[in-house]
Each structure stands twice: as structure tokens, then as C-alpha cells.
Chain A
Amino acid sequence: MARTRGAARGWAWWGAARLLIPGVWLTGCAAQSPSILAPVSPKGRAEADLFGFIFLITAGVFVLVETLLLYAVLRFRARDPHRVPPQIHGNNALEISWTTATALGLAVIFAMTWRTMVATSAPPADAMPVKVTGHQWWWEFEYPTLGITTANELVIPVGRPVRLTVTSADVIHSFWVPQLGGKMDAIPGRENTLWIQADVEGVYHGQCAELCGASHANMRLRVRVMSDADFQRWVEAQRAPAAQPVEPLAQQGYQVFMSKACVGCHTINGTPAQGKVGPNLTHVGSRTTIAAGLLENTPENLARWLDNPPAIKPGSLMPRLGLTPEEIQALVAYLSSLK
């Protein structure tokens, strides 16, 4: 594909530039760092590559200008306080040269910018569609062609382009998974398009990048990239209706869920719970995190969350429900069973 070739050719710029950036070593040490300089997608690579190109130019300018400045300051220090140096008011040839050189350099940067924009902005025609909706403070993912709705964890197959339609249910958010490419704002009343593709299996950190209220910092997400086979298994599991509770404690939890405020906000497919305010919980037990990526999905963390959500996520729309410890244990058993 032309796009891939372009990206691969351009990759050399970044390869040269990264040798010069100490910060890459610094941040590269943390294997889990969601660095834009460790991209795993064609678009992310093209962006990192453009970064590298501009870095090479600006690093050259930086060294040149700072050296001239430092040299001038050190070399021309006055030894005789009364000396009057030659009074030079300007030099047209010199001024025209540096103006022209700057303009030419910028023209080259702009040309590279335009080239990268053209090469990366349109999603490939065969991309899998996913609708992304930002909420205060969690992410909703709908797969319209697969009939799946989930939250806070975007699951995609490796090496396949995905077309995200990004919008918001309340205020402006911004969808961003650095290693998969640039961000796109989620604006209420608008649908923006962004495409991503992950070429390496794994879990990628992302989070909201636009100030969206008290828990902006807590609006995180994960992109889980799987092999085609694993993805198919995941799709089948997600399309199945919610698991019926088997254990007595989980059955008790089911009763608590259906009789308390939970049903007003959450949907569990195949049950009376059809609320649309909070995340769909049909397969919540299959997710690796809860509370928009804040906590690992363990029974202990789920209990903490159910006890007092605003203590974990300030401003959370899910209030403290005043559940008894017994009710919480039952709910944890039920929700954990929703694999």
C-alpha cells in the first residue's frame, strides 16, 4: 500500500532524529510509557516521523542561534568601560539573507506537513467502524456492524484499520491513545472521524486530553489489541447475552442490582436493566479495569468503587448509594460473573 511505503520511507528521519534526543532514552526506559515516539500505527509513525524531520531542522537552528548568541555575549564583553565600539546600524545583505533562509526553511517544513496530512488523514475504505462517545468521565464504544456496546476498553484486531466516529454526550472531550496516533476532539453535536490501526498486539494507554471537569484526569482508557482469532472469540463472547448468575451470592447480587438504583443508569443485555446513563455492564467481568481505567478489575476494587464512587472519581455522576457491605459483596459476585 502506498501509505505504508510512504511511512516506511519517512521513518528514516525519525531514526536519525531519535539518536539526538536524550529524552527518548529517558522516557523510553519506562517500557509502559505511552510515548508518541514509540508509535505502533502507520499514522502514529508518520506523525513521529514528521516530528523527527522538524526536530532535525530546529535542532540545527537551535545550535546555530544559541552558539552565535553565546559567542557574541562572551567575545564582546567590554574590558574598557569607556570604549565606544563601531556604531553599526545594519547590513542589508545580511538581513535579506537570514530572512530568505528562514522563509525557505519554513516552506520545506510546511511541504512536509502537507505531505503527511494528505498521506494520513483519510481512513482506509475497509476500516472497521466504531463509534466513540465521551461522557463525564468515561468512554463508550459501540461497534455498529457487530452489535456490541462496551466501555473504557476498546478491543481491536491487530493490523486492521479502525474508523472511529468520535462524539460526546455532554462537554468536549478528546480521544487520545498516543502510540496509535494523534488525538481527536469529542464535541457534542458533532461527529469527527479518526482512524487508528495497531500493528503490535498489546495494551495501549490512552486518556481524555481536553479539560472536561472535575475528573478529567480520571477519564482513562485502554486499547487492547488482539490477534484475529482472539478478537473473533471476544466478539462472540460480547454478543452473547449476559451470563445467568449461578452461585447463590451472585444470584443475590442480581436481585440487589435489579431492585436498587443500578437499573436506572446501566444496561445488562437480557435483563430488565436498560438504563443508558452509565456504562453498559453486560460483560463488565471481562474488562481488565473499572471506573474508566482507574482501577484494576478485582473484587476488592469493585467493592471499593461500589461503596463510594466519588471518593475514587471526584464528581462522579454515580453517587454513594449507601449499600450495605452484604449488598456490596453480593453485587461484586454478580458483576464479576458477567464475563
Chain B
Amino acid sequence: MASSAVALPRVYEERGLLSWLTTVDHKRIGILYILGAGFFALIGGLEALLIRTQLAVPNNRVLVGEAYNQVLTMHGTTMVFLVVMPVLTGLGNYIVPLMIGARDMAYPRLNAFGVWMFLLGGLFLNLSFLLGGAPDAGWFGYAPLTAKTFSKGTGIDFWILGLQLLGISSITSSINFVSTILLLRAPGLTLNRLPLFAWTTLVTAFLILFAMPSISAALFLLFLDRHLGTHFFNPAAGGDPLLWQHLFWFFGHPEVYIMILPAMGIVSEVLPVFSRKPLFGYTAVAYSSVAIGFIGFTVWAHHMFAVGLPDVVNAFFSAASMLVAVPTAIKVFNWIATIWGGAVRYRTPFLFAAAFVALFVIGGLSGLFLAAVPVDWQVTDTYFVVAHFHYTLFGGSMFAIVAGIYYWFPKITGRFLDERLGRLHFALQFIGFNLTFFPMHFLGLAGMPRRIYTYAPGLGWEGLNLLATVGAFILALGFVVFFVNIARSLIAGERAPDDPWDGHTLEWLTSSPPPPYNFAHIPVVHSRRPAWDRKYTGNPHARPVAEIAGENDRQEGEDAPEEPIHLPAPSIWPLVIAAGLTVFALGLVTHWLFIPIGILLFALGVARWVTQPLFPEAASHP
């Protein structure tokens, strides 16, 4: 499809380890994010299996007391910060620029810095297991359990600094997404035509930018409390443990939307393609994402109904939390209406996306019980909550992520994932997930609190716990099949054409995998489904509904003005800066000698970053 008229750019080396360490290509960075998240998912998954093994029978001794708390804390922290967030960032990194017809992200080096900061921050956090014990105060780290008095080891310090490093990564990637999506869209691609995955990635980036500073500040204050004798969270000296909860949940609740919105975006791409229909109610779905983002900042204290806030305050947060259900319900109904009347193809991406809708509905409905204050007083901090958020974050986010991986794998690798293994994976994951987490609703109602490492027999909890443990191992088997499928398909998977699913969006117009510069010609966009419309304009049913032509609209077939394509040069300095910050953090927790080394690396990286031109080619030939 590429016309020969355009001069193709100089392409940098794409082989060898060094090319990966220095890459600034959004696609390779996306792959690094996804592989890193996959690696941490193995760790977080093993932690989950350890937890379920310990809880399989009453009075078990596999993982006791502090050790259990470490694994519990790291499971939550890993799954949130090292799996769901980065894999969504990775998919966004790879797909969004293609989807909007951009050649790269707005800031390629900052993008590389973000992925290195994520990988090193994740390793730093897990290093705590080897250096004196992992953090053990839960992923929410409530004060004053995290104070030096009650947590003497370095686990909490690893947690504080690890989350700070990961926060830096999230903020840089969010700045990049905002700039890219707002500024680098193809001609004619108005916001009103933006694909839903790009929409939700944009909203998520804003959520991260507004939410992350709250936890960064809280972690900073906690670090001061632990090491410089301040008393922000120490009630004995006039500090307030509830301050931590407010700061944490002001981040923590938007965080759950950070994890679900891009997943909803994926589903909003997959369902229309496999139903061969446009997304039903595009505008409502897009704006409900924005609404969820806004309301998401007004509900944080629903995590705090049992801390003794006044009734009126509780009632406000209860009402706001219920309000979130409106835009969420709009999406669910629109997804079903998208499938309705379609020509549905049961390929693996569709199975996972449809299961997402089915399971997310359960998570949404159980959330209503938690928003109702008096019911929450009973079920908060019980297994009912564990069931609820796994239905949203696993049944929701993780099912959508898997759908996205099956969907975009052919674009990324040029090969299909195996369909039969995919179905086996789906069956195991669906059955295993429900066996693990559905019984937990009943455990919570039967009075079993969260985060307990053991329980006595005779309370009616044994059978359901054993069932959940069996489910967890079936679920794990599903992921084994998934990883086997990926490995096998990378080597011997069926070759995929450029547009294997009869896609709707721009990424299907370029080759699989795409060239480093993405598109030889930047396509001009005339509708919400540019790829579909190029294929089906002759079909009477396929003609897009009339949309108001934007100022940028060009006539059909008219090329975008050709400008020379320049690719940004590879650079090692983003990695050096990230390494400098990580070594610095290590120095704060372990030996002081690492501090100057970290500062030196950081300074060197910054100095070289700013003096190395981004486009050496363009600089030498002005």
C-alpha cells in the first residue's frame, strides 16, 4: 500500500540487546512494558497461590504471621503497580500511536525513561525479599502500622521508595499520552472520532496526573516520619493516622479507574470488530469515561465508612459512589447493544471481551452493597470486598487485557495466537476465576475478615475456602496455557495478514508488525472507523452515517502533504537516568555509598540526554 513517492527514513538497528536498551520506538517500549508486566505477573501469581495454599484449610502453617503479611502486601502491590498498570501502559504505548496515525509518542526518550523506571522500580521493590524482608503493611500501608515503632525493618522503606520510582514512571508516561493523543492525531481524526481505547487512555493519563501527587506526598511524609522524626501520622504527638487514609485513597480510588478505564477501552474496540458493527452509542461511551474520571475523584472516603466519619459525610460519599454506577451502566448497556444485531465471530478476543462484560457486571453490582453505608459497615474488610474488587480488576481489567493481547498479537508479531489453545485458556480462566472468587462473597457474608493468615475450624468457612483454593490452581493452569500459547505462537504461529480481524481503526492499515515509522503515508481520517470505511464504502449497509465534516477533512484520496520522515535516534541515557534514581533509592535504604553513585549516574544521564540531538540526521541536514 505504501506509495513509492515518499522517502523512507533511516531506520536504526533493531537487533541485539543494545538496540533494546537504547530503543526509543514506542512499539518496542510497549513490548518491554508488556514483557515486564508478564514477568511480574508470574511473581504476583505465585504469591496468590501461596496465599490460597495457606488458606485452603483452617490452622494451616504454610505461611504464617509476618511472612503471610509480606506475601499479601507484595501480591497487591505487584498486581496493581507492576502488572495491570504497566501492561495497560504497554498496550497503550504500542497501539495508541498507531490508532491515531502518529509516528511515535510525543516524547520518545521520556517514553524510554518511563519503561526503565517501571522495570527498575519493580525490581527494586522485589529486592526487599532478599534484603531483610518485604513490606508487610498491606498495599494501602495504613499508618501507624507503617511507623518505625511498629515496622522496624526496611520493608516499608522499600515500599515507599519503590512506589515513588513507579510513580515517576506513571507520571512521565501520562504526560506522554496526553501530549500524544491531544497533539499528534492524523489529519481529520477529531476527538469526536477518536477510538475508544485512545479515549480511555487519555482520561486515564489525566487521572494519573491528578491522583499520583497525593500518594507521592503521603509517601514522602511517611518517609520523613520514619527517618527524620516528624509526626505527620503519629497520634501520640498530635499527628493523625486518618490523614494517611485520606491522602492514600484520594489516589487509591482513582487508581481503580486507572486500572479499569483502558480495559473498558479495549473491550470497546474488540466487541464492535467481532460483531461487525460500530460501537453502539459512541458519544455516550466516550463521555461516560470522562464522567467516571471526574466522579472517581469524589468517592475516596467510601473506603473509610468504618473510621467514624459523621453520617452526613458518609452519606455524601455513599451517594457519589452510587453515582459512578450511572456512567458504568451506560457502558454495559451500550456494549450489549453493540453485539445485538451483529454478525458475531467467536474468536478468542471476543470470548474474553464478552466475559469481561459478564463478570464486570457482577463486580459493579457487588460494589453497590459497599456504597450503602450500613451494609458496608458489615462487609468492609471482609472477603466480600476481596470478591468485589477481583471481579472488577480480574474479571474486569485482566479479562480485557487478555482480550487485548489476543486481539493485537497479530499486529505486534505478525502471527496469530493459537485459537484452540486460546479457547482452552479461556475455559480454564473463566471457570477458575469464578470458582476462586465467587465463594468469597459468601465467606465475607459468613464473617470472614480479609488479610487473616489463618482461621479456626467450625465457623462455616472451610468448604468455601477449599473451593477457592482449587479455583486458584485452575486459574493458574489457564495462565500456563496462555504463556505456552504465546511462546509457541511466537515461534510457529500462523502468519497473520495486516488486517486479520477486519478491523475498524488505523492500526490495521499498516503492516504486521508495523515498520519503525508506522505509516509510509499518514492516513487521512474521515470517520470513526477509517479502516472499515475504506473496505466497505461500496456496501449499502456499511456506509458511515453522515458526520459533520471537520475543518481538517481532506477530500477522499488526497494525500497528506509529504514531509521527510525522521526517526528519533536511540539513546542509552534514559536508562542511565532511571538506573541513577534506583541506585539513589537503594542508598537511602541500604548503604549510603549508593547515594553518591546514584546522583552521579543521574547527573551524567541528564547531561548527555540534553546535549544529544533527538534527530541527528535532521540536525546535520537542516
Q: B340–A90 contact, CB under 8 A?
A: no
Q: Does B454 contact A (CB under 8 A)?
A: yes
Given contacts A35-B447, A58-B368, A69-B354, contact A30 B377 (CB under 8 A): no
Q: Which residue of B145, B318, B342, B369 contacts A213 across the interface (Cβ within 8 Å)?
A: B145
Q: B378–A170 contact, CB under 8 A?
A: no
Please indicate the chain A residues that have their CB under 8 angstroms from the CB of B456 in the complex: 220
**CB of B141 to closest CB in A, whole Å:** 10
Give Cα A78 to B138, complex, Å.
47
Q: B341–A85 contact, CB under 8 A?
A: yes
Please indicate the chain B residues that have their CB under 8 angstroms from the CB of A314 in the complex: 64-66
Contacts A/B (CB < 8 Å), 14 sampled: A32-B460, A58-B369, A78-B342, A87-B544, A88-B277, A89-B282, A102-B330, A106-B325, A188-B236, A190-B242, A207-B452, A210-B142, A211-B450, A213-B145
Please indicate the chain A residues that have their CB under 8 angstroms from the CB of B357 in the complex: 69
Chain A residue nearest in CB terms to B455 = A217
Please indicate the chain B residues that have their CB under 8 angstroms from the CB of A30 in the complex: 446, 458-460
Q: A113–B373 contact, CB under 8 A?
A: yes
With A32-B458, A33-B446 known, 19 other A-B pairs at CB within 8 A are: A24-B445, A33-B460, A35-B446, A36-B445, A78-B344, A85-B341, A87-B542, A88-B278, A89-B282, A95-B284, A98-B330, A113-B371, A116-B374, A178-B447, A182-B306, A183-B378, A184-B308, A207-B449, A217-B452
Which of B358-366, B414-422, B597-605 lies at the interface with chain A?
B358-366
Q: A183–B447 contact, CB under 8 A?
A: no
Q: Does A332 contact B (CB under 8 A)?
A: no
Q: B374–A187 contact, CB under 8 A?
A: no
Q: A213–B326 contact, CB under 8 A?
A: no
Given contacts A172-B241, A187-B307, contact A102 B315 (CB under 8 A): no
Q: Which residues of A contact B (CB under 8 A)?
A: 23-24, 26-27, 29-30, 32-37, 44, 46-48, 50-51, 54-55, 58, 61-62, 65-66, 68-70, 72-73, 76-78, 80-81, 83-91, 94-95, 98-99, 102-103, 106, 109-110, 112-114, 116-118, 120-121, 136, 170-172, 174, 176, 178-179, 181-185, 187-190, 192-193, 205, 207-218, 220, 314-315
Give Cα A103 to B150, complex, Å.
45
Give Cα A54 to B69, complex, Å.
33
Q: B65–A172 contact, CB under 8 A?
A: no
Which of B117-125, B379-387, B481-489 lies at the interface with chain A?
B379-387
Q: Which residue of A76, A103, A193 contacts B340 across the interface (Cβ within 8 Å)?
A: A76
Please indicate the chain A residues that have their CB under 8 angstroms from the CB of B144 in the complex: 170-172, 188
Q: Which residues of B contact A (CB under 8 A)?
A: 64-66, 69, 136-138, 142, 144-145, 150, 235-236, 240-242, 275-278, 280-284, 306-308, 311, 314-315, 318-319, 322-323, 325-326, 329-330, 332-334, 336-337, 339-346, 354, 357-358, 361-362, 365-366, 368-369, 371-382, 441-442, 445-447, 449-456, 458-461, 463-464, 536, 539, 541-545
Chain B residue nearest in CB terms to A119 = B374
Please indicate the chain B residues that have their CB under 8 angstroms from the CB of A189 in the complex: 235-236, 240-241
Q: A61–B365 contact, CB under 8 A?
A: yes
Please indicate the chain A residues that have their CB under 8 angstroms from the CB of B319 in the complex: 110
Q: B142–A211 contact, CB under 8 A?
A: yes
Q: B318–A110 contact, CB under 8 A?
A: yes
Given contacts A84-B343, A192-B308, A213-B150, contact A34 B381 (CB under 8 A): no
Please indicate the chain B residues that have their CB under 8 angstroms from the CB of A109 in the complex: 322, 368, 372
Please indicate the chain A residues that have their CB under 8 angstroms from the CB of B283 in the complex: 90
Q: B542–A102 contact, CB under 8 A?
A: no
Q: A190–B311 contact, CB under 8 A?
A: no
Q: A190–B308 contact, CB under 8 A?
A: yes
Please indicate the chain A residues that have their CB under 8 angstroms from the CB of B307 in the complex: 185, 187, 192
Given contacts A88-B341, A183-B377, contact A211 B276 (CB under 8 A): no
Please indicate the chain A residues that have their CB under 8 angstroms from the CB of B145 in the complex: 171-172, 211-213
